[in-house]
Amino acid sequence: MADLYRVHGIELSPYSVKVRSYFRYKGIPHRWIPRRLDAEGEYQKYAKLPLVPLVVSAENEGIQDSTPIIERVEALYPEPSIHPADPVARFISVLLEEFGDEWGNKWMFHYRWAREVDQLSGAGRIARSMMPAADDAQLAGGIAMVRDRMVNRVSFVGSNPVTAPQIEDSFRDALAIFEPHLANRAYLFGQRPAFADFAMWGQLYNAWTDPTPGALINATSPNLLAWIHRMLWPRAEGDFEPWSSLAPTLTPLLERQVGRLFMPWTVANAAALAKGSEEFSVELAGKTWTQKPQKYHAKSLSALRGKYTALVDKSAIDEVLQKTGCLAGLR
């Protein structure tokens, strides 16, 4: 076992299944270890933060945070690369990786914990998976505990009675954008999965397992649903495409979701943290969004800005970012 990566996670954690899908695609020997509360030895030994996923390397080093996990492993196993060769497509994939992790999580988390039917489904599956040996009474206690804890956290991602319709509109609009984009390609950037696919998929696969967003996907999005299934065990079916052939159907995502919603949100969030504000408000597509700032997102925005700054030739990518409203947040 010690010569394998160990991926500690749970099926209902979007960041955990994101990392598992990556290991599967790359064909890197690993073991998926569903986290359970009665067998936590290795998890407790290596986890520095109380979060999943936790990856323990063959050298017994614990790594957390799905984006750096993938980046570290990708540096060791560069083939097949998850980064398109075309430099514009490559950076858009990096940008959508961040968007998937941070904005896509609002869709997933909001839908899972906003309505009773989804709360019961989510809490039931989380408690069952983490307490597989529990009797009925213990299980009922576990379900109530998970539900209470998570419902109380829904505001952390910015979900409240005012923003709920904004989050749901954003989700439905994203589905409408993905559907034609995935009509003629297996993955977001062509015939093999890119960095962005893993992040976006972790959130959308999880949303699909929940009753309310799952029913929406099933009713409206057959191409997206096929991609959700494909990404469980992704494989290269051909090459990446250049930005020129992706642009017609992917530009609307950059314009309507990244440029109009996510970028102004993440910039306002980082500014609020820098000022030490308790709460911030920002206009997103003409509607006021109010929430307490989220710390991690300022860190991941600064990492994204670092990746943008490191680009050597920015002329082609800047044109795309400028036109779609994504540039201002990156410099």
Ligand X SMILES: N[C@@H](CCC(=O)N[C@@H](CS)C(=O)NCC(=O)O)C(=O)O
Write out the residues near ligand X by the rule CB under 6 A: 13-15, 50-53, 65-67, 101, 296
Quick one: 97 or 318, whose CB is closer to ligand X? 97
CB of 301 to ligand X, least distance (A): 13
CB of 156 to ligand X, least distance (A): 9
CA–CA separation, 110 and 47 (whole Å): 26
Nearest residue to 106 via CA among 177, 232, 200:
200
The three-point CA angle 170-209-166 to 5° equals 15
β-strand pairing of 30-34 with 5-9: parallel
CB of 149 to ligand X, least distance (A): 7
Counting every residue written for the chain, the total comes to: 331
CB of 112 to ligand X, least distance (A): 10
Cite the beta strand spans of the chain per DSSP E. Answer: 5-9, 30-34, 54-56, 62-64, 280-284, 287-291
Quick one: 8 or 26, whose CB is closer to ligand X? 8
Quick one: 226 or 232, whose CB is closer to ligand X? 232
3-class SS of residue 190: strand
CB of 13 to ligand X, least distance (A): 3
CA–CA separation, 310 and 87 (whole Å): 12
CB of 232 to ligand X, least distance (A): 17
Quick one: 52 or 73, whose CB is closer to ligand X? 52
Quick one: 65 or 241, whose CB is closer to ligand X? 65
Residues 156-171 as b/e (b if ≥16 CB within 10 A, e otherwise) read ebbbeeebbebbbebb
Quick one: 105 or 251, whose CB is closer to ligand X? 105
